[in-house]
Amino acid sequence: MGLVDGRVVVVTGAGRGIGRAHALAFAAEGARVVVNDGGASPDGSGGTAGPAGLVVSEIRALGGEAVANTDDVADWDGAARLVSAAVDSFGGLDVLVANAGFLRDRMLVNLSEEEWDAVVRVHLKGHFAPLRHAAAYWRAEAKAGRARSARVVLTSSGAGLLGSVGQGNYSAAKAGILGLASVAAAELARYGVLVNAIAPAARTRMTEGTFDMTAPASGFDAMAPENVSPLVVWLGSVESAGVTGRVFEVDGGRVSLADGWRHGPSRDKGTRWEPAELGPVVASLLASAPSPEPVYGA
């Protein structure tokens, strides 16, 4: 018996990298997996059914159950078909892991409207659309007296937590995913759905062009994508009961809980401030607060 034995899991962007590692890890723990991937290049162009099909073949060769899906997760109808693929193939849906995305890196002064729209679409809408259709399914199940112990894991990034120079579009989208996770956790709790987010660091097609993540010749490979998946599998299991609305950073053998935005020092005059009064007020607030974490690449 695996940790997620019999649970039905959708993993988006599961043809390569971290998503592939998630799909294989869930299958190894007994889950039935819908492997979603459109087979696009790292910048989102092109597409092929090959990567999703290969992962399905890997899972089946190991004795697991899986089906492939190549729908565009940022397309409304495609996201609906993805959720339907889980229900039609395996009789339900228990876990959604939203992971799909690509990069169009550029400094802000050179970032085009198309590059902004494409990245925000695949990351932010590509998380929202499958979540929206999955949530509707779970709400209907709950109202019919068949509430499932459902789990959602959304994929943000250190760029979403702190920002990353040259990745304004990606950073904004990944920060938006953190806000989406918080709202979804609050709204979907009544249906038994727990929602968390991760900010992983690993060697993928997206990161290898930006950071030096060369695999070591021997020893522990801290940047292997497989290091991220154990936490995601646990979050997708019934063992994670009570854990929701949280953000976890994970890389190598490290798991940490991100602190997020919190209310900080304040000064209340009891009435409206005059503009000229606020210089000393802001100075005192800054003096009593920790300095922000640096932006990646700054």
Please, what are the domains in the chain?
8-257 (3.40.50.720)
Q: So which residues are the catalytic ones?
A: 157, 170, 174
Taking only the tens of pLDDT, the chain with its 298 residues reads 899 999 999 999 999 999 999 999 999 999 999 999 987 666 556 556 689 999 999 999 999 999 999 999 999 999 999 999 999 999 999 999 999 999 999 999 999 999 999 999 999 999 999 999 999 999 999 999 999 999 999 999 999 999 999 999 999 999 999 999 999 999 999 999 999 999 999 986 665 555 455 667 778 999 999 999 999 999 999 999 999 999 999 999 999 999 888 899 999 999 999 999 999 999 999 999 999 899 999 9
Q: How many helices (H) and strands (E) does the chain have?
A: 9, 8
pTM of this prediction?
0.92
SS3 164: strand
Q: How far is Cα 10 from Cα 67, in angstroms, rounded to an integer?
A: 10
Contact 137, 150 (CB under 8 A): no
Which two structure tokens, joined as six digits, stand for 74? 């940022």
Residue 22 CA: distances (Å) to CA of 27, 44, 229: 9, 21, 5
Task: Of 189, 198, 177, give the one whose Cα is nearest residue 138.
Answer: 189
Task: Of 67, 56, 64, 52, give the one whose Cα is nearest residue 28.
Answer: 64
